[in-house]
Chain A
């Protein structure tokens, strides 16, 4: 988001419709899949792909994914997800009101963050297969998608602020940027 967008959002909100609630029993399916929008502008399907595990703020771990629907997809959807790594118990969460925007004849969601248990750091996840399943609901419309992806760690640094802190960066731990 850039600064010029800040003022536009409230006006957009007044104009946009509502996706409704999550409790409709008579749902109409629509197609969706899991992917990610690469920095070079290309769309990458996540099923069978590698995905970067982000080691970030306060040691939290996550991956970011997006949901693609066809051109008739929703403006917003409530996303329920479940993730399973190796033999560990699946875990999950939900993200309400995820916006979808038109791109290349499809509708693609904003970033959906899947936060992994960081109790023992990122190491146990590297190289493991993560099975991700999602359900998107927009009023009476619903889609499900699943993907298997391999967790990679091309960037082992900890992204906490402007400058990453890397395991081999001996100087990093001696800096005190505490403002004093």
Chain B
């Protein structure tokens, strides 16, 4: 009888099984122009040091995830591998020094690795997308950030034999901002800080009560957090949205238009360190990378009263020397910081009383795309995420050597044209005139940060805005961006923002309206060294009201020369390999490599985005009742969702749908962003429309006829623009801010009509155009439960 009972009980529970998420199939294949085989890469990311060994996670990419960690013997330099779960990201050494724990984002477990045995000894079941780990000082508690759950889980641990038992699980855990990644625990273990790279916040959590004490709103991605005494240091970027200080939407929440900062567009993109009082959550200092750099209208100097230069941060706060503050550590009595977008490192000392930072020199990181930085007994280790190596430095930050830990069997990075594009994507700063910006400032890890920016394509420069779009699944959103006007070869207005052409003497069409003098590039005339830039002309004609500093930001006389010099210094070549990026004679089929000038680098980046879609595998279970019900609603004629969002990309405006005469665009399905006077702030600059024939916008004359002759803006309240259809694949991982203006907070607000009963208190239904509901699909007839079902389905795509 007892045996029968035991068998029955056993049958009631399913034993836990290890599961792994599978990558999405890559729609870009051998039949596509530019496709080429790519080498495998391991992308070394995080490090944990135990004694004389350094353990390094090797996550690979979402398309080709790895399943190993590397172990460096710091005495000998030897490297070995240990198998763990799929796409290991975070790693932490247990305080007892005998184990390291590894978070495997694409597996449903955390690996426990025995340091002595050099092997995975245990798999502790977890949610998928466990990302980073932090132990309490006594080793009895483990905190785990989870990108999928937007939470930090807490496990109680007990050592049992040669392993661990999880005696209590608090899961999903403490809710935090969108896409938490890094976390840190204070010295005595009383406080935990969790950084959200998409949600732009840091959650400060009381460890004992597991309650959030403060939600620090950075207005920018929180890349890493570090406790130093009574202070919390946050690696971040600028809070600005690149608008004029006091014009356009109120994007800094101060009740006034604009973002409160005078620089606009990409000149407003900075790199920052924030210092908080741990006890109160008060911001004590915010250091920045601002510079007086550029010869174009976007950059404002502190002394420029006419353009509100006094609103810039004080110059004594301009101490952040590199681009994209990525990871922080405390070692050898200093704060150390890696800059992933400029291949640099920097250290800072901190005043223990007031938290003020003093900068050390900016140092070369010794490899491409530095990520983790950790201290050892006598120095520092830095992962080179793209370089596939770990850099070894002395305690003063002097580079000693690199140790290969990743996969270099396909050649040193970059070994292909797509990898050249990948390098530019992640290490963009050398190609910018101010050394500040990068693609990954806004497209963190290929996603989209929760922020809408002023972009150079809008009619009202520094006033209109667009929500950041995810890079992941770029093939799904091709032609790119909301406008569906640009493709992988011609997104030049965005690239122009990084290094506007007016900054290069012989390229400066504002200095030389009739063209530069003959031989300008080879023998730059005196004006190149002593003439102020007279202005910038692209819809925002602006002049500097004073003589600008004569030094141009670069030595190169043209932008192409600048690009070629920068890529040459980074990788030792200035033309493509020709495997994916080449010129081809249409008649003879002859091919040759391309110069890596402005156009060549633009194409390399486009090629990378297609070659490596990097869509994160979806962890949401599709075989559920709510999902099936939601799918039926999605496919029903009553909602009409599937008409514009058909599989596989769940968009009509994409070439992955079979090349059916694209791009496809349509009139706005939600109310445009409007100024108080009714002006449609979504309107494109006419020059942008001219440059991209696929972009659609009502002509003034068609709406208001002859009145436009006297005033081209007379109908800016009536004109509309057309948008493409946003792909839904991967939407589960995107920022909360949705629609072209980013105003909808999550799918519920996107789907619901105004006043829909499914809306939660404070939520707004955006499914309307100027008061007419159901303009973005029929949803007003759906019950709250049906809305939930529809959302459940969308999150499985």
Contact = CB atoms under 8 A, between A and B. Distances in A.
B541 A172 contact: yes
Given A118-B507, A179-B244, A13 B462 contact: no
A175 interface: yes
A12 B687 contact: no
Nearest to A64: B693
A117 B599 contact: yes
Interface string A56-100: 111110101000000000011010111000000111111111010
A58 B587 contact: no
Contacts of B456: 58
Contacts of B506: 119-120
Interface in A6-64: 6-7, 9-10, 12-14, 16-23, 54-60, 62, 64
B169 interface: no
A125 B643 CA distance: 47
Nearest to B507: A119
A6 B687 contact: no
A89 to B, nearest CB: 8
A102 interface: no
A179 B458 CA distance: 11
DSSP class of B's interface residues: helix, strand, loop or mixed? Answer: loop
Contacts of A91: 583, 599
Nearest to A79: B586
B690 A97 contact: no
Contacts of A13: 652, 657, 660-662, 664
Contacts of A21: 31-32
A90 B583 CA distance: 8
Contact of A6 (B686, B691, B696, B712): B696
B667 interface: yes
Interface residues of A, number: 79
Contact of A96 (B31, B515, B538, B659): B659
Contacts of A80: 33, 584, 586
Interface string B680-707: 0000011110110100101110110000
Contacts of A78: 33
A165 B690 contact: no
A121 B512 contact: yes
A178 B460 CA distance: 7
A160 B687 contact: yes
Interface stretch (B231-239, B393-401, B489-497, B628-636): B489-497
B540 A17 contact: no
A159 B686 CA distance: 8
B644 A174 contact: no
Contact of A176 (B264, B542, B690): B542
Interface string B32-67: 110000000000000000000000000000000000
B655 A97 contact: yes
A105 interface: no
B431 interface: no
Counting chain B CB atoms within 10 Å of each CB, the highest count among A58, A64, A75 belongs to A58
Contacts of B462: 178-180
B660 A173 contact: no
Given A96-B655, A161-B459, A178-B244, A56 B515 contact: no
Contacts of A179: 244, 247-248, 460-463, 540
Given A3-B698, A120-B558, A178-B244, A160 B722 contact: no
B91 interface: no
Interface string B261-272: 000100000000
Contacts of A161: 459, 539, 685-687, 712
Counting chain A CB atoms within 10 Å of each CB, the highest count among B463, B666, B700 belongs to B666
B156 interface: no
Contacts of A111: 693
B520 interface: yes
A75 B404 CA distance: 52
Interface of A: 1-3, 5-7, 9-10, 12-14, 16-23, 54-60, 62, 64, 75-76, 78, 80-82, 89-97, 99, 110-111, 113, 115, 117-124, 133-135, 144, 146, 156, 158-163, 165, 167, 172-180
21 contacts: A6-B666, A6-B722, A22-B31, A23-B31, A64-B693, A80-B586, A82-B583, A82-B585, A94-B33, A97-B655, A117-B560, A120-B520, A120-B558, A135-B587, A158-B513, A160-B537, A162-B686, A175-B541, A179-B461, A180-B247, A180-B462
Which 7 pairs from chain A and chain B are nearest by CB? A123-B515, A57-B687, A162-B712, A135-B586, A167-B513, A160-B687, A179-B463
